[in-house]
Each structure stands twice: as structure tokens, then as C-alpha cells.
Structure 1
Amino acid sequence: MTDLIFNVENGVAKIILNRPDSLNAFSAEMIDLWIKALETVRDSDDIRVLVISGNGRGFCSGGDIKSMGRGEGFLQSDGTEDFSSTALARKNSLWKRVQRIPLLVKEIDKPVIAVLHGVAFGAGFDMTLACDIRIAAENTKISESYLNVGIVPGDGAAWFLPRFVGTDQALDLLWTRKVLTAKEAKDMGLVTYVVEDDKLEEFVEDYVQKLASGPQTVMRFTKRAVYQGLNIDLRSSLDMISSAMGIVTELEDYQEGVQAVLEKRKPNFK
């Protein structure tokens, strides 16, 4: 049994964290497979949507505390545990491995959906902040738990959280390590949807199929415009989107969309 399952079916890619006995805490094998799967999704024109979820009782508890207790909390570039005591080696192990995951997620133009249940703690939750949409079961508990073991938020929280909730709320979550319910997280803007536990799978399937059947090139241009718009001025954003408009109006999906509206029917995008 591998620590991460990756499969693609009908244009939908699924990454499933698969260490249920450890609440899907990170392992060297999991990180390796996660990186390879994200590279595949990024580079494949056949994949339309990516869904990331976890097996067992929770989504992901973040770093493996047991391995940290043995001095094994960081992973070397060859996939083995880092027993080195040097600060530089620990820094490099983060940069070359775990930190590649949020960076790779942000390189993917297709929709990336995180499905949360049970627990999503520390780095386990922060990986979902790199995704576009977060769908949580009502039973989900979320916490920025790094300070519980005396470490800084090394996997993106210091960058993502202020952009989601503001500086004061970000520091409050990190300093107090409070545990949020799914509803509390949604009220703060950290979760997109909260769904009844027994309806989570059905909701996710319907949502993913809606995205997978959409006009793919237009959706990818739209995603790129939204994220790039966070870092550029209005004039630059309008200039970029006008270029995208020129391109997409030459595509078959544009002709199909217009015709479907005129004929009052559901469009059949490529």
C-alpha cells in the first residue's frame, strides 16, 4: 500500500493521502508521490480538474509528530529522514521537498479542489490554502497547530493566512492554535463550502463534474487572471484580460456558448 494514491478518470485527477493510521501525516514517500502527481496534473492537457482528499478519519494532520520526537522531522532530497543537526540542512529539506507542494499547486491552471474531513491541522491545512476551492464536511476541525510543537509555520501559512483573513486574524490563529469548526472556518473565509458529513461525496462529485464539463481554456485563462490580478495594477489586469478575450473568442467553445444561449439549451463544450 502506497502512502499516496493518484489516478485519473474522465479528465478528473485525484490525489488521495493514504496514511490513515497516522491521520495522513506526511512521510517521505507521500511527499515524493505528491510532487510527481502535481507535476503530471500541471503538464497534462487531458486533465480538467484535480481533487485532493485524504483516506480514513481525517484529511491530514500535517507533519509526523512521532518522527519529530525521534529527531526525524525533516526529509532529505533523496527521500530519507534527515538526522542532521545543522540548520541549513533542515532549511534545505523543507525547500526541496514539502514546500514544493504549494508552489506546484500554484502552477496548475486547472481547478484544484481540496476536500476536508475529520482533521486538517498545521501543514495539512495549509496545503489546502494553495488550492482554489475548499469543501469541508461539517465534522472537520481546523487548526494552525505549529506552535504546539515549537516550530514556525513552514509550509505557507505566513503567506496565505493574511491574504485570507488579514494580519491580526492570521497571527491570532497561529499564536493561539485555536481549533476551528468547519462553520467557523467558512465564516472567516478559509473554507468555501461546508457540507453535511454524509453528503460530502455526492456534493464534491456534482461540483467537480460541473467544472469538468465547462469550457476548459476559458476557465484556465480566468483562473490565471484572478490570481495574477492580486499582484498587478488595474491597467495591467485589463490589458491581460483583453488579450485573453481576443484568444478565447476564436475558439469553438465561444461559438458553442453563444449558439446554446440563442437556442436556449445547455452548451456542449469541448
Structure 2
Amino acid sequence: MKKFLSVALAAVMMLSLAACGSSSNKAESSSEGGSASDKTYIIATDTTFAPFEFTNDKNEFVGIDVDILAAIAKDQGFKYELQSLGFDAAVAALESGQADGTIAGMSITEERQKKYDFSEAYYDSYVCMAVKKGSSIKGYEDLKGKKVAAKTGTQGADCAESLKDKYGFDITYFDDSATMYQDVKTGNTVACFEDQPVMAYGVSQGNGLEIVTEEKDNFSTPYGFAVLKGQNADLLKMFNEGLKNIKANGTYDEIVAKYTSAK
């Protein structure tokens, strides 16, 4: 009876742990090279943040972040499980110890560096504002008395917050880009603040929006892979070494071109 109860308890615990992660979009990678241990690292990421992470028409979870992580893991020989949770949830998983690292188009900022250790930058980005295609909104001056959309915990949200008092608009927050875009298209909000490469990709794919402003000076920041401050130094070191190697051998450029070059 004790043995039966132990097995049953173990099964319940496994189901509970599984429920904490993503229900889909998981991946594992390993390599013959490198010198990593047998540990499988849990890496948290966003759900839809194309071209950095998204599900393609073959129901495969792909993107710049996804492919860079896979290439680095292969180069360094470590195993990982990628959990697609959404940006806010990915950061929460990192802070709670449920994830060892996060790669999710995460901007390296002074504020975040107080809580996380970042890798070397793997992509440079800046913030833009987009509106529904054909909208009368052409700039910040047109936002007075209106609502705009931003994604929780992002540079886009920081940018919107820095402008809202000057231009007299309110902000509605979202957990993912797709829902935010839809809110703008339905007219509940008149504009959204987003990372420029992400919005540019969406526009090229016919998301129904258009870019009207860009913040290249005040909100231009690099993306980095993050671990909790003072933890997983070995993982961070492998990421940096792998990033250096894939840049040197051309793999990095191939990955970026795959998702950003005009078809």
C-alpha cells in the first residue's frame, strides 16, 4: 500500500510540474561538442513575438531567438527545454526559479541589470509606434484623449509611459503582441508601442498595421539572454561563447537573414 501511495504521489507531482510549463512549443537540443553536464536547462520565452519567436504554418515554434538558442546549444553541447510562456510569465518563471534562463527579445536596461545577468547583446532594437492601416493618427500629437496599447514589462511600455503625460493619452496593457495588435485593429486603442523589428516583420506579413513613429535615440536597446543575478553563471558563459562562435562561422548571419530578408 505504501509503495502504491508513493507511486501515485509521484505521478501527481509530475502532472503538477507539467502544468506549470507551456502546454506546447517545447524543444530540446544537445550536441556532440562542448563540455556541458547532463543537466537540462529550462529556458523560458515568449509565445508570439515574430520574427524572434512564433509558430509557423507547419505548427513549428521558430524564430531568431529559437534558432540562435538551438545553434548555441549545439555549439556548446548543452541540453535545454524551451517553454513558451509569454513575456511576463517567462520573466516570472526566471525570478521564481522555475526557469534557468530567458530568451524573449528582452532589452538590456539598467533597471533590469539590477535583477538579471545578461549575455552579450545578440540583437539591436528600438521602439516604434504603429496604428491601424489608413488611420488618421500620424504622430504623438494625435493621441490626446485617446487610448494606446503596450505590452507589459517591455521597452514599448516604458516608451509609452514616458510620453503619456506630455501627449495626454491613456495606456491599456497586454500580455502578448497578437492580442495587442487586434485591439488596435478593432479600434479599442488607436495605436500600439512595439519593438521596431517585430512590428516591421508583422507589417510585412500583412498584420493590418503601419509604423508612424520610431524612437531610435531614447529607446534604442540591445536584446540579451538573461539569467537571475548571481545564478547559472555556467549557462551564461556557454551562451556568450556559443554566440561568439556562431557569429564567427556565419551561422548567426544566416539565422537573422532567414527571418528578416525580403522574400
Q: TM-score, normalised by structure 2?
A: 0.24
Q: TM-score, normalised by structure 1?
A: 0.24
Which structure's residues are more often strand, by fraction?
Answer: 2
Q: Which of structures 1 and 2 has the larger relative contact order (alpha carbons within 8 angstroms, sep 6+)?
A: 2
Which structure's residues are more often helix, by fraction?
Answer: 1
